[in-house]
Amino acid sequence: MLHLIVYFLIQCLIVVNGLSLDINDRDSICAAAKAISDGEWNYYEGLKYGGVVGMFAAPNYWWNAGEAFGGLLDYFSYCDPTNETLESLIYDGMYHQAGAGFNYIPSNQSMTEGNDDQGVWGMAIMQAVERNFTNPPDHSWLSMTQAVYNTMNARWDNTTCDGGLRWQIFTWNSGYDYKNSIANGCLFHLAARLARYLGNDTYVETAEKVWDWMYGVGFMVSKGDEFILYDGADISANCTDLTTYQWSYTYGIMLSGCAYLYDYTGDDVWLERSNDLLTASGQFFNNSIMYEMQCAPSNNCNNDQRSFRSLFARSLGLTSVLVNSTAETISGWIDTSSVAAAQSCSGGSDGITCGFNWAVNGWDGVYGLGEQQSALETVLALLTEMPLTASTGGTSISDVNAGLNTGDTINTNLITISTRDKAGAGVLTAVVLGVILAAGVWMVL
Ligand SMILES: *[C@@H]1O[C@H](CO)[C@@H](O)[C@H](O)[C@H]1NC(C)=O
Ligand SMILES: *[C@@H]1O[C@H](CO)[C@@H](O)[C@H](O)[C@H]1NC(C)=O
Ligand SMILES: *[C@@H]1O[C@H](CO)[C@@H](O)[C@H](O)[C@H]1NC(C)=O
Ligand SMILES: *[C@@H]1O[C@H](CO)[C@@H](O)[C@H](O)[C@H]1NC(C)=O
Ligand SMILES: *[C@@H]1O[C@H](CO)[C@@H](O)[C@H](O)[C@H]1NC(C)=O
Ligand SMILES: *[C@@H]1O[C@H](CO)[C@@H](O)[C@H](O)[C@H]1NC(C)=O
Ligand SMILES: *[C@@H]1O[C@H](CO)[C@@H](O)[C@H](O)[C@H]1NC(C)=O
Ligand SMILES: *[C@@H]1O[C@H](CO)[C@@H](O)[C@H](O)[C@H]1NC(C)=O
């Protein structure tokens, strides 16, 4: 009886105070991460009757699933590497969404998939490579990452703005005429990781190509001590009419891309760029607590934006191990943010639902896959391990031509699709764009 009362009291403490986290104790970190990831699986459709393996509940899109699996894979590798149930859940989910060409362009996502979406899935499967996650027998995680890279790089478009990737892959999705930092940043980031993993300088050349173009076109700007990374620009004015929003995940993937390149090349230029982006990333912290600076203060973050801190936190963790001179600054942020994030995870009927504003005491009443992912990856950033390479124990099999020889029709956008579906996609993207723009106007007001 006493036992039960004590148990009940402990449960109350947890519910009232969220997850308590001792950042110096691995067991405490993993216990918090387990609770948060359990909450994340609650959004998973793959185990529900009629649900699709690899997908999460609406309003989450296909790309959100790619982002989610990256965090769940890190949780598995750092905290629960012998749990075979967890391993197969992650394996099945990631493999099922590879698409018929094993390049993460599943044909039934052509209404929503942009270059950034494919790139975020590419990051998750590259993580599988770097964490030596069990490989599918016929298509290794590495070969599929190479297919993502090769198909993205083949879409490099010199016909407008002198280069760059468009936001969208398919002509019928609105946003096809927009070039942006997240799509190009994904190519930069994947090129950096492949270069380091395989020790192949061709990928460094691609990373340089992307960096130079983004800098040249004005998506990245140095102003004295300040370094700014903007959202993107429409091709109509030769990419000169910039959309000036700034998002944490874009900073994160560019920063960690530079860190991979510095670790691989030892070239000081990548250290300087890492440092510039690191300093600039300070704007996403208030009193060392991470927040989505562009939309959080006005309470206007949409479902996607509420997940951005997950990729940002993952990127910071990677940067801190790849470029050790950044570790002190990053620990300062992650130590405080992880405790703040964990204590927000006291909501919902499950008592492990994480909130959005980590600066308030307890759960703020906001919930979703994005909140859960962001808290999970911020906590896991405390445990980031050095990513493997082919020469330090990675075993995934390379295929440099993956994705180039499948004869798929993706690059020429020849997939047949009914006009009605096309119109639907246009409207959907237009609505999303409208919401983003409206949020922007609101912010400016
Ligand atoms: C193994 O993973 C599954 C799926 O996430 C989870 O339900 C289970 O609690 C885990 N087992 C242990 C011992 O942590
Ligand atoms: C899309 O394709 C996958 C894989 O072929 C399939 O399992 C799924 O049911 C399809 N539909 C959706 C909505 O993902
Ligand atoms: C695009 O421009 C780059 C850099 O100038 C060049 O290396 C590449 O071959 C061009 N690609 C195409 C398809 O024209
Ligand atoms: C268009 O932008 C590119 C990249 O910034 C620049 O190199 C080129 O000169 C511009 N072309 C025109 C016609 O302004
Ligand atoms: C930063 O935190 C302080 C203290 O909690 C708060 O008053 C302020 O509004 C926050 N600033 C932003 C931009 O959220
Ligand atoms: C970074 O690593 C190098 C080489 O291992 C070491 O000499 C240096 O002291 C480390 N720097 C920091 C800040 O930890
Ligand atoms: C990687 O996985 C393979 C196959 O499961 C295994 O044989 C190998 O020991 C693992 N390597 C490391 C460094 O964990
Ligand atoms: C390096 O990567 C490039 C691009 O995928 C590929 O064409 C080339 O064959 C690779 N080189 C080696 C030695 O594997």
Tens digits of per-residue pLDDT, 319-358? 999 999 999 999 999 999 999 999 999 999 889 999 999 9
* pTM across the whole model: 0.90
Q: Is residue 432 part of a domain?
A: no
pLDDT at residue 8, as a whole number: 42
Per the prediction, the chain carries an average pLDDT of: 90
Q: Does residue 416 have a pLDDT over 50? A: no
pLDDT at residue 406, as a whole number: 59
Q: Is residue 415 part of a domain?
A: no
Q: Is residue 416 part of a domain?
A: no
Q: Whose CA is nearest to atom 2 of ligand 6?
A: 324
pLDDT at residue 18, as a whole number: 76
Q: Is residue 417 part of a domain?
A: no
Name the pLDDT band for 19 (thresholds 50, 70, 90).
Answer: confident
Distance 214 CA to ligand 3 centre (A): 15
Q: Does residue 49 have a pLDDT over 70? A: yes
For ligand 6, whether the C-beta of 324 sits within 6 Å is yes
Tens digits of per-residue pLDDT, 256-303? 999 999 999 999 999 999 999 999 999 999 999 999 999 999 999 999
Tens digits of per-residue pLDDT, 244-266? 999 999 999 999 999 999 999 99
pLDDT at residue 426, as a whole number: 42
Q: Is residue 407 part of a domain?
A: no
pLDDT at residue 418, as a whole number: 42
Task: State which residues form the domain around 115.
Answer: 2-400
Q: Is residue 216 part of a domain?
A: yes
286, 290, 300, 336: residue to mutate for ligand 5 pocket, most atoms within 8 A of CB: 286
Q: Is residue 43 part of a domain?
A: yes
How many domains is the chain partitioned into structurally?
Answer: 1
Q: Contact at 8 Å (CB) between 152 and 187? A: yes
Q: Is residue 406 part of a domain?
A: no
User: Which of residues 423 and 152 earns the better pLDDT score?
Assistant: 152
Name the pLDDT band for 3 (thresholds 50, 70, 90).
Answer: low
Any idea what the CATH number is for the domain that residue 335 is in?
Answer: 1.50.10.20
For ligand 7, whether the C-beta of 411 sits within 6 Å is no
Q: Does residue 12 have a pLDDT over 80? A: no
